[in-house]
Amino acid sequence: MKYLSLVISLSLTAFVFSFSTTSGDQSASLSLELSMQLKNFLENIIPAWEIHLDSLHIVIRKAAHILEFFILGLSWYISFKLFKVRLSYLIFLGLLLPLIDEGIQVFSIDRGPSIIDALLFDFPGFIVGSTILPAIYKKIFQQNAPN
């Protein structure tokens, strides 16, 4: 089981890094399409709500950073627990992975690294996934455990 969790964590990391190898146009096109679909959906639900596509596009792009690193953080937390690696190293990994991910963008067409993305979106997403969510989960199950 622990080796499966490691393979999953490494695969998810490679998957996240693969997004950074796409060109700026490909990346923007993907998130813009999602933004347009969400805008149409929201405007159908709340017709009086005027949604600006540019603003929504920015929110979608930043939310994607948070979500992908949230999932990475949770995955790596599980791997670290199963391999009995000190969880303090998880914070180091949580900072290292976003920096590598942003660094990959140096080699992508029309993209560049963003320390803001790494520190304000990726790292916090990883930390929430790897620390806060497991703590909440543990708290819930400790309260519901039979005495």
pLDDT tens across the length of the chain (147 residues): 899 999 999 999 999 999 999 999 999 999 999 999 999 999 999 989 888 999 999 999 999 999 999 999 999 999 999 999 998 999 999 999 999 999 999 999 999 899 999 999 999 999 999 998 888 878 877 776 665
pTM of the entire structure?
0.87
Q: What is residue 139's predicted lDDT score, i.e. its pLDDT?
A: 82
Q: What is residue 147's predicted lDDT score, i.e. its pLDDT?
A: 55
Compute the distance between CA of residue 79 and CA of residue 6 in angstroms, rounded to an integer. 6
Compute the distance between CA of residue 81 and CA of residue 88 in angstroms, rounded to an integer. 11
Q: What is residue 22's predicted lDDT score, i.e. its pLDDT?
A: 94
At residue 106's C-alpha, the angle toward residues 21 and 92, to 5°, is: 85
Angle between helices 53-83 and 24-45 (to 10 degrees): 110
List of residues 6+ apart from 119 with CB closer than 8 A: 98
Q: What is residue 146's predicted lDDT score, i.e. its pLDDT?
A: 62
Q: What is residue 86's predicted lDDT score, i.e. its pLDDT?
A: 94
Sorted by where each begins, the domain ranges of the chain are 2-144
Q: What is residue 39's predicted lDDT score, i.e. its pLDDT?
A: 94
Q: What is residue 141's predicted lDDT score, i.e. its pLDDT?
A: 73
Tokens of 24: 């700026």
129 neighbors 77 (Cβ within 8 angstroms):
yes
Q: What is residue 46's predicted lDDT score, i.e. its pLDDT?
A: 92
Compute the distance between CA of residue 138 and CA of residue 40 in angstroms, rounded to an integer. 39
